[in-house]
Every structure is written in structure tokens, then in C-alpha cells.
A and B are shown apart, each in its own frame.
Chain A
Amino acid sequence: MLRIAHQRTLSGIRRASTILVGKRAPFLLYGIACLACCAFAQDDQASTGANRAAPASATRAGEIEAERQRKAESLQPEKVKPAERVLNRIEQNEIVERLTCQVTGLCVRFGGLITYSGFALGPEYTNHGLLGGAATFSTSFVGSVHEFYRADAHLNMPQLYDGFAFLDLDAEHLYYPRVDYYGSGPDSRKSGRTAYLLEQSAFQVSPGIRPIDHLRIGALGRYLLTNIGFTNDSRFAPTQEVFTEQTTPGLFAPTDFVQAGAWVQYDTRDNPGGPRSGGNYFAQYARFQDVLRDQFSFNRVDLEVQRYIGFFNHRRVIALRSRVQATQAVSGNQVPFYEQPTLGGPDDLRGFRAFRFYGNASFVNNAEYRWEVFSGLDMALFVDAGQVYNDWHQIGFRHLQTDGGFGFRFNVRNNVFLRIDTGISAEGVYVWFKFGNVF
């Protein structure tokens, strides 16, 4: 401090002497320098305690007391920086919690619609305190810039009978004016892109139990109403103008279904929001009964295996997923195209457009190498391989569509809240912004 003071004063003198060349300037400079000496000396003594100089008559304790006394004469209230004040307000008013619907009351819901719907948001009301805290009710209405809409309501009771059982009741209505369709089967062409309007309403009940740790078994009952229409997006040919009822069952004859089924899940993931070890194994069977036309009844099986292999203290993870979705029409019926399994897009084949492939069965495999860049960001290199089939008996590892790419996974407390994946395939390069993890 003292050294700095000297340097500053000396350099100041030099600068000043080159500017002031009058007769009295040198005397003036000398006087200023002496005054500066005293000023800096005083400042030094005041601020650093034991390392500083003071008049011989002083004591160390006296010096400290004098400095305190000086400060006592000019006390100011503590000031909070504007940025900190804003952050405090955000925290005190639970702005983030409200934006993410973690608290009871009205909040804003972002996203939740299908790919290509565009930026979407809407109001959501959540009440976590029903039935003495045993039930949570939520309802929302979300609209996108491309006029996609979705309204839903949910009543969830996740901890019945001390956590042994759970029950979910859901209702939703969605209106998607543009859903892509390229034709059914593995041979569809990228250039054959069409679009249709999908409107559905569903009412669902799903009770279940947790008999042992990690294991959940549930049943599913659903009533599903569907309407298919012409897309209002003039950029794409309407599906109805390119395909026929023969090539695309249900295109001109949407129907209503009663769905009934059961599912089982064995989940040993260490953290479902951003797993680094463990596995997730899921199987579901469902029967879709056409209650309107008796033309489109079918059975559907979903099988999914996820495995996470963490190494280097889980700072690196190999994440693997394999998923089969298979449908089979009951005798004399067909599977409607809008209930066929699809592939392509941010959640399976990331190097292809969303809904690029439709088929009566699909098989997809994903492998990711994930590594931690810093606490809030993991990166990933991935490869995807999958295919759709006209019949589930054809499922195999031949003639798979493949892609590769890389991704950024942003997380808070190890839970991925945003990912940016870039998939590259023979059909192009696609960048996906999505909330939540891929698997």
C-alpha cells in the first residue's frame, strides 16, 4: 500500500512537472509532495493495523480504536446491489417456482406440445394440497405460435396407503393443425412429406401398486376420441390429397377407442432426471377397441430397456436404450395410421425429421457417451439406429436407419432441464431444443 502510494505520487510529480513549467511550479510541487506524504501516511496507518506506522506516542490498540472512531462518524446503512436485490425478489416471491409450477396457484407452463408446434406457453393452475396433501390437481391450457393447442387436467394421488398404491386420473384435449406424414413402412421417402390435422380427446384412469422397491405395476383404462382433418399449413400437401384410405387406414374414417391394458416398470436408476447408473425396464400391453366402426381394433405392446453405465466416478456415462413398439390388428381390422408407432425426431432418430417414419412396429436403439463439462453441463456423443416395419415379425437389426450426433445437456442439481441435440444422417442435419432428458 505504502509502496503504491509512493509510486503514484512520484509518477504524478513527473507528469505534473512536464506540464507545469512556470517559475513557481517546482515549489508548488514540493509542497504538494510533502502534503501527499502526510496524507498517504495517515491513510496507511488507518487501514492496515499492525503493518502500519504511527506516531511514537500511539499504541496499537489506540490506533485501532481511532480508526473505529473515524468509521463510527460516517456509518452508512448496508446497500444491496441492484442485481442482488432483483435476485432476492425472485427468490422471495418464488418466481422460479411459479414459472415451473412447483407451488400451489397459477403459473406459466412452457412447451408440452409436439415437435414443430413452435414456441408454446399457457396458464396452469396447480393445487398440491388436496385431500390433506395426498392429492395434486393441475389443469393447463397451452397454445403455440403456430396455433397448436392443448388443454388438460390431472388428479394424481402418488402416495396412497403409505406409498403402496397410486392412482392417476387424466383428461386432455389436443388440437394439432399440422402433423407430418410420409407414408407407412420403411420405404417412405423424405420428399413425400404431407401433413394432416389431428384432434383428440382422452379420459384416462391409471391405478397401480409398488409391491417392492423399484417395482411398479399398473393398469390403464382410457377412452379416446379422434378427429382427422386437413392441415391449415399451406406449405405442405394435405395427407388426404396424397394418400388413400387403403394406404393409410383411418385417414378418412377416424374413430373412438376404449383402451385397456397393464404395465410393469422396474426402475433402478440413481436419479431419473439425469441418470448415471442403474436401469429402467418397462413393458406395457394395451388393447385398443374401436367402439364406433369396429374396423380399427388392435393390440399394442411397448417394451423398453434403458441401461446406464457410469464410470470415472460417474463423471462419464454410457447410456443405452432399446425400444420396441409393436401393434397387431385384430382379425379383419387395421391399425389406424395416427396410432401407429413413429420414429424420427428429438427423442429417437435425431438425424431425421420428426414423424419421419410410420409403421405397425418400430425398433430403435440409442447409445450415448456422456461426459461432464462442468457442474451444470454434460455433453454427449450419440448414435441412433432404428426402423419401422409393416409387421412386428420383421423386427430385427437389418436395414436400420442410422444417425449420429452430439448434444449439450444443461442440468440443475443433476436433473436435466434443457438439451440441445444435433443429429446428422444421410437425410440432413437437425438441431433439437428440448426440455428434459432424452432417456
Chain B
Amino acid sequence: MVQVRQRVLIALAALSLAALPVLAQKFYPDDPLEREPRPLDVKTAEAQNLNDYYDFFRNTFWPPDREQIKHHNPLPSEAINTLGEVPDSTWFTNRVGSRPMTVDELVRGPGTDDPPSTSGPWTVVSGKNQGVQPGLIIRDARRKRYFLKFDPMSYPDMATAADVIGAKFFYDLGYNTPQNYIVRFPRSRLRVAPQSRYRGENGQERQMTEKDIEDVLAKVPRGADGRYRGMASRDVGGDLIGPFRYSGTRSDDPNDIVRHERRRDLRGLYVFAAWLNHTDSKSINSMDTIVDEGGVHYIKHFLIDFGAILGSDTFEPKSPRAGNVFLFSWKPSAMQFATLGFDVKPWMRLHYPDLPGAGHFQYEDFDPEHWTSNYPNPAFELRTPGDLYWAAKKVMAFRDEDIRAIVATGQYDDARTAEWISRCLIERRNRIGRAFFAEELPLDHFAVRGGRLEFEDLAAEYGFHAPQRYSVAWSVFDNATGRRTSIPNATTFQVPAAHAEYLAARIHSADPDKTVTVYLRGRQVVGIDRTP
């Protein structure tokens, strides 16, 4: 008797658990959320100094969420709304692909109206002449601060153009980026500030001298007109508190409530990084800053330093490895070791055009599904098909003319370089669309018009496959229980006249494994579920 009662109660307990999701409502009245609520005031957030080597070793040998990565079974992405889109936040702002943008708007990116003033000298407040590439920090006549960076001697335009182009693309895609400008200036414009600091080749910091500027400029290309070309990056403003990590959350930021490796905007960044060949997408190429908006202080997250995108590795062209294999990973290394190097990969046979400003940039070998950053990025490694689809939509939203116009802002002296970069980006964009629109049913832009549920087949729209026939099955959706009740004979895209608050339309093509379920509240599309 005791045993029977025990079993009954256990069954009841199990039922309680099973019923849990049924008791919860799927949609809130304010879904789909387009913008996260106003952030809370950040009272104390200390600057943190992340270590590049630690980041490399940790993510290469002891990555967070190792089991999920190993078994390719990531948890669902977060920081998304019920449509699967990323709401505007301190991380991300919907721009291209979310609303129509003109070429001018795309070219403007984070801004084009605040380059260093040429009405007076640029005062050099600090600088370095060590490391991979020299750089200076200047204040213009308006006392605005800029980071001044240069190209390597043998590769004019390469790094500076990449930095400017990258800031615009990543801004247009939705991220916070600094304003980067190509500047050309005579030596006489640079003056040393009385209290300037300088770290020379000997590594020691000291008062800067005019000769230090000469030493820096001696290492960079000079135009035929005697002027120097540089890239001036406007200070992002606020109180800089160091980079963000691609995993975990900041424990001192109340607004940072979603683990970074689960954020769709960081997982989807994989696609953007692949497109633009941002192999150096790691923590130290980001920056958190405390900004003050309307008296509320909050942490805003920036991507910075795009000198190592496209074919540039800042101080030299990218290694042909870049984008194809991690700096270190066990299997490829073991293969090279065991085969005495006779395992020749396709990327080793690639030819790069003789365009110094383009560095090593290609599209022929570009495989968006297997592109790699220099070393594993936790958010990238946990990407889901949904993240890839979300990001691919944004990449595909750039038209050919948009890409060419943004590339032109790099001001390549050789027109062939700009053409090559544009061509590569167009081809890589198309490969991204073709690859990631195939992983899910690429139906989007759902809306009810004239009583019909309408949508676009993005793969057909971009010519990746012929228009296809889709089937639909309607049901009444109970938001409180999650239960669906089929509506008999409702198998056209005409919205059925059912007296229900929510309707669900399950759409599929010939492949039954790929489905899209669209949820309507009245005539408003409030939710989209995609499988797989």
C-alpha cells in the first residue's frame, strides 16, 4: 500500500514538473520587444586589464562551456525577442537589414563630421615606437583626442583603410564602433606636448621629443607630395574601463544579465567577422566605456581596432592560415606533424593578387561555415543555425553599390585595390547567404496584408534557389498553456477567421525537418519559431 501511494505521489510530482511550461505564457503584451528597457545606473565599475595571452591560452585549451562546444550542442541563444531578432541595447542597435538605409547613411557609419581639425597643429600627447606598429595619441586644435595609426612601410593603405572600412561595416551591422578617418598631413602639423609621454624602442617611458616623432614617421609610408597618411580614430568618449570578455558577464554591471557567449549579437558576430575576415576578433579588440545619458550612467560596449581585417594583419599581410585554421588546434597540427607536411590544404595553393594595399584577401577559398578566427572565441564556438541565419540576413542586406561605396572610404590610392576588396566582399557575402539560408527555412519579413500571411523567400529573392512552394497549417494557439488546436481545412496563406487571440501558422517546404511557425496576435506578427 505504501509503495502504491509512493508511486502515485511521485507520478504527481512528475506531472507537476511536466506541466510547468504549459502553465507559462509564451508572449507578453509588449512582445516583440524592439528595444531593451532603459539601463540601470552603474555606480561602480572598475577598469579591467584583460591579458591577451591569457585569453589565447584559456580559449584554446580551457574554453568555457567546453562540453557544449565539444558536442556541438549549444544552449539556445539569448538576448533576443520573440521574432528571433536582437533588440536594441547597450551592445547592439538594429540598422542594416532592419530598416531601409541609404548609401549615404551606410557610408556615414559612426560619423563623418568629426575628423581632427586641420585649423591648427596636432599636439602629440603620447606615443609608442615599439610593438607591431608605431602609433601616436594626438589632440587637435579643439582639444579632441584621436589615436593616430599608420600603415607598414611596404604595404601602404592596407591597415589604415581596413580600420576605416571595418568601423563603418560593423557600425552599419549594428555594433558600437569609433569614428575612424583617413588623414593626410605634413610633418609640420605634429607638435610635441610639454607633458607628453613616450615609450621608445628601448621600452622606457619618458618625455617625448620632436625626434621621437621623426622616428615614428621614418617607419611609415610617405606620399609623393611629402605628406603622411594615417588613420585617426576618435576617442569613443566616456570613462574607458577596458575590454569585455566573450564569455560570462561583468559582475559589477547590473545591466549585464545574459552570459556573453549566449548573446545572439556576439554569436552572430561570427558571420560578420567571417565576411570581413576579422580574424582578430578577440576581447582586447573591444572596449567598454561608461557613458552618461540623461543622468544615467551605463556601460556601452564597443568593437575597436579593425586594422587586422580584410587582408591586413596590421603590420603585414595576413598569413594565409588566417581564417582557415586556428593558430593552434590539435587535429590539424597532428595531421601536419604526421604527414610531414604532405597534407596540403586548398588555402595553401591560393594565389593572392599583387596589390600591397589589399594584403592577403581572397574569396575563392572562403567557406563561411568553416571560417576561423585566430583562436577560438567562446561566442563564435557556440553559434547556432539561428544566429547564423540572423546574421546572414544582415550581410545580404548590403547591396553591391553599398559595399563599393563603403570600401571607397578606405581611400585606396590604387583603384584596383578598392575593386578587388569590393569584389571579394561581394563574393563572400553571396557565399554567406547561400550557406546559411540553406540551414533554415529562409522565410522572412512576415506580415499580414489583405487578410493573407505574406513573406519573402530570401534564398529565392537573392537567387540562391528557384521559388518554391510552401505548405501551411493553421492552428489556434493558447498563449496561457502553449496548446495548439488545429483549424480544419486552414491550409492556405489566407488568415483563417478564428475567434482566438493567437493563431499559429506552421510553414514547411518539401523538407519536413525545416519549418517556420509564425504567431499572430490579431493581425500582428508577434513570434517566429524556426526548426531546426
Chain A 25-53 residues near chain B, CB threshold 8 A:
25-27, 29-30, 32-34, 36-37, 40-41, 45, 47-53
Instruction: Select A315's contact among B5, B48, B329, B348, beta carbons within 8 Å.
Output: B348
Q: Can you name 29 A-B pairs with beta carbons within 8 Å? A: A6-B17, A9-B17, A10-B14, A13-B14, A17-B10, A26-B8, A29-B10, A30-B9, A30-B13, A41-B24, A45-B24, A48-B78, A49-B78, A53-B20, A53-B26, A56-B480, A61-B30, A61-B36, A76-B251, A76-B252, A80-B48, A91-B51, A97-B203, A102-B203, A104-B204, A133-B200, A312-B344, A374-B329, A374-B333
Question: In whole angstroms, what is the CA distance A67 to B253 when docked?
Answer: 12
Give Cα A128 to B336, complex, Å. 41
User: Which residues of B lie under 8 Å from residue A253 when comparing CB positions?
Assistant: none
The answer to whether B21 and A53 touch across the interface, beta carbons within 8 angstroms, is yes
Chain B residues near A6 (CB-CB < 8 A) = 17-18, 20
Contact of B33 (CB < 8 Å), options: A61, A72, A102, A126: A61
Question: Quick check: is B320 within 8 A (CB to CB) of the other chain?
Answer: yes
Known contacts A83-B54, A94-B203, A49 near B80 by CB under 8 Å? yes
Nearest CB on A from B130, distance (A): 8
Q: Give the distance in Å from the alpha carbon of A313 to the alpha carbon of B250 in the complex.
A: 42
Q: How far is the CA of A257 from the CA of B63 in the complex (A)?
A: 62
Give chain A residues whose Cβ lies under 8 Å from the Cβ of B319.
375
CB atoms of A30 and B12 under 8 A apart: yes
Roughly how many angstroms separate A60 CA and B85 CA in the complex, as a whole number? 14
Interface centre among B5, B251, B257 (most CB of A within 10 A): B257
B327 / chain A contacts, CB cutoff of 8 Å: 374-376
Residues of A contacting B100 in the complex (Cβ-Cβ under 8 angstroms): none
Q: Closest residue of chain A to B327, judged by CB?
A: A375
How many Å lie between the Cα of A60 and that of B79 in the bound state? 12
Top 3 A-B residue pairs of the complex, sorted by shortest distance between their CB atoms: A53-B24, A371-B341, A33-B13
Q: Are A51 and B76 in contact (CB under 8 A)?
A: yes
With contacts A56-B25, A56-B480, A374-B328 known, is A25 near B40, CB below 8 A?
Answer: no
A29 with B350: in contact, given A1-B75, A54-B28, A88-B49 (CB under 8 Å)?
no
Partner of A103, one of B30, B203, B321: B203
Bits for B327-367, please: 1 = Cβ < 8 Å to A, else 0. Answer: 11100110011001100100111100000000000000000
- A94 to chain B minimum Cβ distance, whole angstroms, is 6
The reply to whether the CB of A292 lies closer than 8 angstroms to some CB of chain B is: no
Closest chain B CB from A319 CB (angstroms): 14
Task: List the A side residues contacting B469 at CB < 8 Å.
Answer: none
- Alpha-carbon distance between A94 and B76 when the two chains are bound, in angstroms: 42
Give A365-386 as 1s and 0s: 1 = Cβ < 8 Å from B's Cβ atoms.
Answer: 0000101111111010100000
Report whether A312 and B349 are in contact in the complex, using a CB–CB cutoff of 8 Å: yes
Residues of chain A with a CB closer than 8 A to B53's CB = 87, 91
**1/0 per residue B186-214: CB within 8 Å of A?**
00000000000000111110000001000
A36 to B40 CA separation, bound complex (whole angstroms): 30
Within 8 Å of chain B (Cβ to Cβ): is A129? yes
CB contact between A53 and one of B16, B25, B251 (< 8 Å): that residue: B25
Report if A60-B333 is in contact (Cβ < 8 Å); known contacts: A50-B82, A371-B340: no
Q: Which residues of A contact B23 (CB under 8 A)?
A: 53
Q: Given the complex, which residues of A lie within 8 Å of B141, measured CB to CB?
A: none
How many angstroms from the CA of A126 to the CA of B202 in the assembled complex?
9
Q: B31 contacts the other chain (Cβ, under 8 Å)?
A: yes
The interface centre, meaning the residue of B37, B39, B320, B327 with most chain A CB atoms within 10 A of its CB, is B37
Could you tell me the distance in whole angstroms from the C-beta of B36 to the nearest C-beta in chain A? 6
B460 at interface (Cβ–Cβ under 8 A)?
Answer: no
Question: Could you tell me if B251 and A79 are in contact, using CB atoms closer than 8 angstroms?
Answer: yes
B517 within 8 A of A: no
Is A313 within 8 A of B350, CB to CB? Answer: yes
A392 CA / B37 CA spacing, docked (Å): 86
B518 to nearest A CB, angstroms? 16
How far does the alpha carbon of A30 sit from the alpha carbon of B12 in the complex, in Å?
A: 7
Does B6 interact with chain A (Cβ within 8 Å)?
Answer: yes
Name the A residues within 8 Å of B257 (CB-CB): 47, 64, 67-68, 71
Among B54, B200, B204, B332, point to the contact of A81 (Cβ < 8 A): B54
User: Does residue A59 face the partner (Cβ distance < 8 Å to B)?
Assistant: yes
- Closest Cβ of chain B: how far from A341's Cβ, in Å? 33
A288 CA to B215 CA, complexed, in Å: 40
Enumerate B42-59 residues with CB–CB distance to A below 8 Å.
44-46, 48-51, 53-54
Residues in A with CB closer than 8 Å to B254 are 68-69, 71-72, 75
Shortest beta-carbon distance from B342 to chain A in Å: 8
- The distance from the CB of B371 to the nearest CB of chain A, in whole angstroms, is 17
Q: Does A427 contact B (CB under 8 A)?
A: no
A59 CB contact (under 8 Å) in B14, B28, B252, B328? B28
Our count of residue pairs bridging A and B at CB distance below 8 angstroms stands at 211
Q: Which residues of B contact A52 (CB under 8 A)?
A: 24
Taking the complex as formed, is A84 at the interface, i.e. its CB lies under 8 A from any CB of chain B? Answer: yes
Q: Are B250 and A78 in contact (CB under 8 A)?
A: yes
Given contacts A128-B202, A316-B341, A374-B333, contact A34 B9 (CB under 8 A): no
> B294 contacts which chain A residues (CB < 8 A)?
none
Whole-angstrom CA separation of A63 from B40 in the bound complex:
14
Report Cα–Cα, A65/B30, bound state, in Å. Answer: 14
Q: Does B409 contact A (CB under 8 A)?
A: no
Q: Which residues of A contact B411 (CB under 8 A)?
A: none
Q: Which residue of A lies closest to B17 (CB)?
A: A6
Q: Which residues of B contact A371 (CB under 8 A)?
A: 336, 340-341
Asked if residues A33 and B203 are in contact (CB atoms below 8 Å), the reply is no
- What residues of A have a CB within 8 angstroms of the CB of B341 in the complex? 315-316, 369, 371-373, 379
Q: Return A130 CB to nearest CB of chain B, in Å.
A: 10
Is there an interface contact between B348 and A312, defined as CB atoms closer than 8 Å? yes
Q: Which chain B positions have C-beta within 8 A of A377?
A: 333
Residue A58 at the chain B interface, CB threshold 8 Å: yes
What residues of B have a CB within 8 angstroms of the CB of A315 in the complex? Answer: 320-321, 341, 348
Interface contacts beyond A61-B37, A71-B256: sample of 15 additional A-B pairs, CB < 8 Å, sorted by A: A1-B75, A9-B17, A26-B2, A30-B10, A48-B258, A54-B25, A60-B33, A75-B44, A76-B252, A77-B46, A84-B54, A129-B204, A133-B211, A313-B350, A381-B340
CB-based nearest A residue for B35: A61
Which A residue's beta carbon lies closest to that of B29? Answer: A59
The answer to whether B81 has its CB under 8 Å from any CB of chain A is: yes
Is there contact, CB below 8 Å, between A313 and B349? Answer: yes
B489 CB to closest chain A CB (Å) equals 32
Would you call B251 and A29 a contact (CB within 8 A)?
no
Chain B positions within 8 Å of A51 at CB level = 76, 78, 80
Cβ contacts A244-288/B at 8 Å (1 or 0 each)? 000000000000000000000000000000000000000000000
Residues of chain A within 8 A (CB-CB) of B39 are 68
A84 to B79, CA, bound (A): 28
A332 part of interface (Cβ distance < 8 Å): no
Q: CB-CB < 8 A to B12: which residues of A?
A: 30
Q: Does B286 contact A (CB under 8 A)?
A: no
Those of A80-120 within 8 Å (CB) of chain B: 80-81, 83-84, 87-88, 91, 94, 97, 102-105
Kindly identify which residue among A25, A60, A84, A94 contacts B30, using a CB–CB cutoff of 8 Å. A60
B255 within 8 A of A: yes
Nearest CB of chain B from residue A281's CB, rounded to whole Å:
22
Least CB separation from B79: chain A residue: A49
The answer to whether B321 touches A104, judged by C-beta atoms less than 8 angstroms apart, is no
Min CB distance B470 to A, Å, is 25
Contacts of A242 in B (CB 8 A): none
CA A312 – CA B342 in complex, angstroms?
Answer: 11
Q: Which of A360-411 contact B (CB under 8 A)?
A: 369, 371-377, 379, 381
